[in-house]
């Protein structure tokens, strides 16, 4: 069995575990607010940002100097003692880094292009900053590791699949420890890209709402240390699939999502009714919420409490899988109440198949949480975490 020995995270809910736990319980996200200059043709759009200063990247590593990597350092700082102990115990060649991202240093590339178009000097940009492999290379170099280091980029399931990949490296005997996670940063390209697809909401997203318009984009980073050493929470099961149905739309019957969830349950040797909470992908796009509601209804009925937390973090793209798995870990380790879907701002869509969406916060009654990530291209991943004695 693979266990989670430490978790670090930063997102719109806060910059520490204590802050994030308190705001998740209260349903407050300080980093979710209107921002100017990101959406073309509109002065404002609600986006989820990480507030406050981030750790600096020294000049000696300037080729890695991106906000994405600064977010990773902020998450790393929370788990540094565990990471240092693990490296000292198993050796630098026995620790892997597997991360997920979809933007990497894209925002720095955008600023470079802006400078060039305006005949301004661009002295801080390096092409390698926006390579998808850069976050993993950076973190591995920062920690002076010698084990495998690579990035998974499968859109919004990227960091969930990074967790699955890290687990496999340990189970294959290639490493003893895997530092897994992901980061994505606010950038004009995905903001305007989703807007062009008519999948972006300039106001705060409305998961499972009657008049939902699309996603609210956020930025975040989270890291987990995976190990065989027993801890209080285990990675009990994982599932992944690829629809290959459409580049942006989910399979109309949710076939890939069903396979991913079923695989995670089967790996854990569990039945649907044993799950205590489902963190839904819940993007607030018309198609995603429709199909996911149907999938959960078909597999779980209305008996399992579920909700989307994206109104509190934004859709953090490649970091979404690890961010929501980290929130699930926080609920398990701190016995937090389950986050309700906030229907105080909008009306719930009563045409969706009923699937146990929480109307109000409640206690977790069974210590097993399923977290779903359903991405573009039908890249689906489900992560099943649970408390173990």
Number of domains in the chain: 1
Q: Is 156 one of the catalytic residues?
A: yes
Reported as a single tens digit per residue, the pLDDT across 50-91 is 999 999 999 999 999 999 999 999 999 999 999 999 999 999
- Report whether 10 contacts 50 (CB < 8 A): yes
Structure tokens at 325: 């798995």
Q: Is 112 one of the catalytic residues?
A: no
Reported as a single tens digit per residue, the pLDDT across 205-249 is 999 999 999 999 999 999 999 999 999 999 999 999 988 877 777
In terms of residues, how long is the chain?
389
Q: Which of 64, 195, 251, 315 is catalytic?
A: 315
How far are the Cα atoms of 56, 62, 108, 124 from residue 59, in angstroms, in the given order?
A: 9, 5, 16, 10
Q: How far apart are CA 314 and CA 316, in angstroms?
A: 6
Task: Give percent of the chain with pLDDT exceeding 70.
Answer: 100
Is residue 98 classed as helix, strand or coil in its secondary structure? Answer: strand
Reported as a single tens digit per residue, the pLDDT across 260-318 is 999 999 999 999 999 999 999 999 999 999 999 999 999 999 999 999 999 999 999 99
Q: Which of 64, 195, 281, 311 is catalytic?
A: 281
| CATH code assigned at 309 | 3.40.47.10
Q: Is 315 one of the catalytic residues?
A: yes
Full domain range(s) for residue 357? 2-387
Using only C-alpha atoms, what is the Rg of the chain? 20
Q: Which of 156, 205, 306, 355 is catalytic?
A: 156
Q: How far apart are CA 66 and CA 106, in angstroms?
A: 9
DSSP-assigned letter for residue 200: B
- Report whether 236 contacts 370 (CB < 8 A): no
Q: Residues 168, 376, 223, CA angle at the centre, nearest 5°?
A: 40
Structure tokens at 175: 């490493």
């Amino acid at each position: 069995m693979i266990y989670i020995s430490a978790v670090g995270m930063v997102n719109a809910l806060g910059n520490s575990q204590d802050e994030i736990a308190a705001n998740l319980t209260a349903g407050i996200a300080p980093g979710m607010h209107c921002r100017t200059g990101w959406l073309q043709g509109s002065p404002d759009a609600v986006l989820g940002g990480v507030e406050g200063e981030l750790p600096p990247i020294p000049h000696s590593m300037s080729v890695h100097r991106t906000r994405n990597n600064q977010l990773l350092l902020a998450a790393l700082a929370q788990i540094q003692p565990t990471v240092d102990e693990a490296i000292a115990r198993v050796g630098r060649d026995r620790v892997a880094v597997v991360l997920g991202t979809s933007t990497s240093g894209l925002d720095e590339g955008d600023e470079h292009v802006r400078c060039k178009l305006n005949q301004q000097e661009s002295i801080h940009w390096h092409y390698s900053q926006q390579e998808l492999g850069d976050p993993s290379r950076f973190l591995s170099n920062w920690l002076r590791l010698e084990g495998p280091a690579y990035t998974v980029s499968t859109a919004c399931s990227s960091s969930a699949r990074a967790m699955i990949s890290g687990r496999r490296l340990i189970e294959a005997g290639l490493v003893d420890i895997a530092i897994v996670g992901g980061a994505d940063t606010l950038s004009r390209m995905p903001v305007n890209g989703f807007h062009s697809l008519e999948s972006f909401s300039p106001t705060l997203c409305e998961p499972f709402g009657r008049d939902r318009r699309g996603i609210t984009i956020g930025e975040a980073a989270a890291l987990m240390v995976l190990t065989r050493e027993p801890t209080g929470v285990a990675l009990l099961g994982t599932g992944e699939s690829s629809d290959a149905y459409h580049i942006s739309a989910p399979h109309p019957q949710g076939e890939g999502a069903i396979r991913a969830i079923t695989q995670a349950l089967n790996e854990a040797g569990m039945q649907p009714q044993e799950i205590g909470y489902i963190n839904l992908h819940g993007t607030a796009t018309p198609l995603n919420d429709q199909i996911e509601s149907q999938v959960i209804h078909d597999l779980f009925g209305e008996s399992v409490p579920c909700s989307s937390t994206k109104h509190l973090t934004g859709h953090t793209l490649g970091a979404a899988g690890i961010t929501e798995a980290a929130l699930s870990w926080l609920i398990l380790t701190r016995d937090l109440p389950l986050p309700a879907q906030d229907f105080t701002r909008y009306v719930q869509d009563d045409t969706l198949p009923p699937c146990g969406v929480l109307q109000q916060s409640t206690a977790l009654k069974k210590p097993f949480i399923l977290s779903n990530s359903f991405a573009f291209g039908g890249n689906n991943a489900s992560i099943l975490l649970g408390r173990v004695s």
